[in-house]
Amino acid sequence: MDNQLLLEVKEKANIWLNSNINEETRAAINDMLQNDEKELVESFYKDLEFGTGGLRGIMGAGTNRMNIYTVGMATQGLSNYIKKAFPQLPEIKVAIAHDSRNNSRFFAETVAKIFSANGFVVYLFDALRPTPELSFAIRELGCQSGVVITASHNPKEYNGFKAYWEDGGQIIAPHDKNIIEEVQKIKSINDINFDGDTSKINTLDAKFDQLYIDKLKGLSLNPEVISANKDLSIVYTAIHGTGVKLVPQSLKAFGFENITTIPEQDISDGNFPTVKSPNPEETAALTMAIEKAKEKNADLVMGTDPDADRVGIAVKNDKDEFVILNGNQTAALLLDYLIGQWKSKGKLSGREYIVKTIVTSEILSKIAAHYKVEQYDVLTGFKYIADIIKKNEGKKTFIGGGEESYGYLAGEFVRDKDAVMSCALIAETASWAKHLGKTLFDQLIDIYIKYGFYKEKLISLVKKGKEGSEENQQMMVTFRNNPPKIIAGEQITHLLDYQKQESVNLVSGEKQKIDLPVSNVLQFITEKETKISVRPSGTEPKIKFYISVNTELTKRTEYSETNRKLEEKLDNIAKEIVNF
């Protein structure tokens, strides 16, 4: 171990020991100093970075861990910036929500105390709530900012602090960097004002939930079709998270009556005892729900992550077997339904648009183009979708948007991905398919025949700790300085470097500016429109490879063989790119 690093780490640990910390934290630090130098280094070798979205990290004692002191520093820095940003307001209002994770309520109450100690009027939900409801609350209550305590779908050891601005969207430029500067100015635990004013903390309860549900209900496009198919059999799992009350409630508000939940997973538990990971992107997370769906011969399975902003679904295929759809497939089904219904009901005026992220399937672009609806591409992160909605407010109408990582949104009253809303609209899409004598899987095949068969694969390389972070960065350097020229026998014709904000046609040499914020992302596009995107995760110790391939599908009977060939191609590309 680097002796200099160890000395620096011990010095930081001792500064904490000499600060106003609780006995539990003091004992944990002393234990690491005496018994576990490796854990001491991991806990103190750097400060848990307040990034553009806030904090996320493993819970524990130390500067590189999620605890009331790192959360406190973040909150105090955010408070200081809010005061600077709204000097003219006689009263500053903020909203706070939290998920089911261990310590989430404790952290949320800590944030409330610090905000109130800074003179803010605070709205704190009485118990766990979905992240999208926090976004809704900020707008509904006229707040200047908000915080949700969540680590989304990360493993149980993690928690996080996600900051929002007055539009209900996650923090973006210029506020993100300005807030980071303010947080970095908090040099000591003693700089945090923990002395809360309880008279300024207001409770949000079930009455507020009803306002949110009523808004969701207004998004329904075919209530009469739902009424005719109210017995659509739906199995839903909250996977121990915040969707447990509001997802079933929203489904019932839309008119669905045949809803089954998974009792073992209705229990809010930050240890997520029935799953290895509470991530609906992973097949195993929906296992119990699918088994229940088989028992009941259900039509649709849905599962949401701990903070209910992402939803995974399973549907019956042409062999009457449940298959899990990926985020791109669900987005295609949802947006094709929404835009199609807007058109059939005469709601398209030429001012409507959809938004997707740069790593999301191009099939959404094909759908938008077919209906002559404008489509925006943004960087990965729903905050950029929220920013487009904000910029177009009053000028254009947002129909919907999505990202491959299982997040979707419709309407403009929420400004973050919303799994509560998505579950209701996905169920409505399924009821529409049933009205046509089809399943969602049938609808998906129809989409492929109409727009092209797009298939995707996501590879995530997890490299933990300090060394892992350095390996991820080096991998990006290698791809940027020595990019591949051929992948799966296809010539790469375009290289998009979002860090340089430059797109290069490798055949003609022509260069174009990418009009998006700087981001450490690379994309390779081949002569057959195969697309490979490479980016290190901003919230996890991962580097991600998004691979998309496509071909024509002329008839339903060719689906299985075409699907097999595309899967084989994806596997081959994955091997090539990971071992490059």
pLDDT in tens, 538-550: 656 688 999 999 9
Percent of the chain with pLDDT over 70: 98
Q: Which residues, at least 6 apart from 391, have a Cβ–Cβ distance to it below 8 Å? A: none
Tokens of 421: 């809303």
Q: Count other Cβ atoms within 10 Å, centred on residue 384.
A: 23
Joined tokens for residue 294? 């088989």
Q: How far apart are the first and last CA of the chain?
A: 30
pLDDT at 50: 82
Q: Which amino acid, 483? A: P
Residue 387's pLDDT band (boundaries 50, 70, 90)?
Answer: very high
Cα 360 to Cα 408: distance, rounded to the nearest angstrom: 12
The dihedral sign for the CA sequence 193, 195, 200, 202: positive
pLDDT value at 323 more than 80: yes
Cα 366 to chain centroid distance, Å, stands at: 24
Return the pLDDT at 85: 97
Per-residue model confidence as pLDDT tens digits over 391-436: 999 999 999 999 999 999 999 999 999 999 999 999 999 999 999 9
Secondary structure letter of residue 535 according to DSSP? E
pLDDT (0 to 100) of residue 542: 82
CA-to-CA separations, 226 to 237, 315, 434, in angstroms, rounded? 21, 18, 10
Confidence (pLDDT) at 422: 98
Q: Is the pLDDT of residue 466 over 70?
A: no
What is the reported pTM? 0.94
Give me the sheet containing 259-261, strands edge to edge.
259-261, 234-237, 300-304, 311-316, 322-325
Q: How confident is the model at residue 49 (pLDDT cuts 50, 70, 90)?
A: confident
CB atoms within 10 A of CB 352: 21
Q: Structure tokens of 380?
A: 């990965």
Span 101-149, pLDDT tens digits: 999 999 999 999 999 999 999 999 999 999 999 999 999 999 999 999 9
Record: fold of 228-447? Alpha-D-Glucose-1,6-Bisphosphate; Chain A, domain 3 (3.40.120)
Q: Please give the positions annotated as active site.
A: 152
* pLDDT tens figures, 60-107: 999 999 999 999 999 999 999 999 999 999 999 999 999 999 999 999
User: Under CATH, what is the fold of the domain 46-204?
Assistant: Alpha-D-Glucose-1,6-Bisphosphate; Chain A, domain 3 (3.40.120)
CA distance linking residue 215 with residue 121, whole number of Å: 25
Assign 32 to helix, strand or coil.
Answer: helix
Question: In this model, does residue 524 exceed pLDDT 80?
Answer: yes
**So what's the pLDDT on residue 3?**
83
Buried b / exposed e over 164-199, threshold 16 CB at 10 Å, is bbbbbbbbbeebbeebbebbeebeebeebbeebbee
Residue 302 β-bridge partners: 236, 313
Distance CA 118, CA 83 (A): 9
214, with CB counted inside 10 A (0-12, 13-18, 19+), is exposed
Query: Could you give the angle at the alpha carbon of 155 between the alpha carbons of 149 and 161, nearest 5°?
Result: 20
For β-strands 145-149 and 93-98, DSSP reports them as parallel
Strand, coil or helix: 301 = strand
pLDDT at 258 over 70: yes
Going by pLDDT thresholds of 50, 70 and 90, the confidence category of residue 472 is confident
pLDDT, tens digit, for every residue of 226-239? 999 999 999 999 99
Nearest to 379 by CA among 496, 526, 279, 506: 496
pLDDT score of 389 more than 80: yes
Overall average pLDDT of the 247-262 stretch: 98
Q: How far apart are the C-alpha atoms of 222 and 379, rounded to whole Å? A: 32
Average pLDDT rounded to a whole number, residues 34-63: 90
pLDDT at 205: 98
Domain residue ranges in the chain: 46-204, 228-447, 453-578
For the ranges 151-165, 433-447, 465-479, the lowest mean pLDDT is seen at 465-479
Average pLDDT over the chain, rounded to an integer: 95
pLDDT at 539: 56
Mind listing the pLDDT tens digit for each residue in 154-179? 899 999 999 999 999 999 989 989 99
Contact (CB, 8 A) for 401 and 354:
yes
The model's confidence at residue 508, banded by pLDDT at 50, 70 and 90, is very high
Cα(164)–Cα(144) distance, rounded to whole angstroms?
9
Question: Which amino acid would we find at residue 4?
Answer: Q
Q: Is the pLDDT of residue 474 over 60?
A: yes
Q: Do domains 46-204 and 228-447 have the same CATH topology?
A: yes
Residue listed under structure tokens 């109408």: 397
> In the predicted model, what is the mean pLDDT of residues 298-317?
97
Rounded-to-integer distance, Cα 243 and Cα 312, Å: 13
- Asked whether residue 380 carries a pLDDT value surpassing 60, the answer given is yes
Rounded to whole angstroms, how far apart are CA atoms 371 and 426? 20
Place of tokens 């487009």: 388
Contact 300, 232 (CB under 8 A): yes
Torsions phi, psi for 90 (to 5 deg): -70, -20
* pLDDT at res. 470: 73
- The encoded tokens of residue 457 equal 């694969």
Task: Tell me the average pLDDT across 232-254.
Answer: 98
**Who contacts 188 (Cβ-Cβ below 8 Å, separation ≥6)?**
15, 19
Distance CA 24, CA 30 (A): 10
| pLDDT over 80 (residue 1) | no
**281 touches 393 (CB < 8 A):** no
Over the Cα atoms of the chain, what is R_g? 24
Please, what CATH class does the domain formed by 453-578 belong to? alpha beta
Helix, strand and coil in the chain, % to nearest 5: 45, 20, 35
Determine if residue 390 is left, alpha or beta; phi over 0 gives left, psi from -120 to 50 gives alpha, anything else beta: alpha
State mean pLDDT over 435-443: 97
pLDDT at 461: 85
Gap between the Cα atoms of 340 and 338, Å rounded: 5
Measured distance CA(115)–CA(123) in Å, rounded = 10
pLDDT grade for 528, boundaries at 50, 70 and 90: very high
Q: Give dist(CA 387, CA 369) in Å, integer.
A: 22
- Give me the percent of the chain exceeding a pLDDT of 90: 88
